[in-house]
Amino acid sequence: MTDESLRERAQELHRHLEATAELPIDRTANRWLGEAEAVARDVATSNLDEETTLERVAKVQHLLGEVDETGHEEADDHLEAAKEVCTGILEDDGATPS
């Protein structure tokens, strides 16, 4: 994966999580999504090496794995899209945890 492609996908991940911030969602889900969004923002806006980027995307994936539903349909759509972006980034690099 090229650095530019990884950066674009990290920005896409952040956009999905950022979009949930103002939606009325379950309090517990909000906590997990807020933490995931903060890590994703760091990945999307910092000049990180590929290894660090992938470690942080894996962290986001772990955090998102704690949320099944948000209680809001639009937020659920963004949650699923963010999970897919994480999986895509990590699979393309061959780093998806088992």
DSSP label at residue 43: H
Residue 93 near residue 51, CB atoms below 8 Å: no
Q: Model confidence at 1, in pLDDT bands (50, 70, 90)?
A: low
Q: What's the length of the chain?
A: 98
pLDDT of 92 = 86
Q: How far apart are CA 62 and CA 1, in angstroms?
A: 22
Q: What is the pLDDT of residues 37-88, one digit of tens each?
A: 999 999 999 999 999 999 999 999 999 999 999 999 999 999 999 999 999 9
The candidate with the shortest Cα–Cα distance to 10, out of 63, 53, 52, 47, is 53
pLDDT of 97 = 47
Predicted TM-score (pTM) of this structure: 0.90
Q: How far apart are CA 70 and CA 48, in angstroms?
A: 30
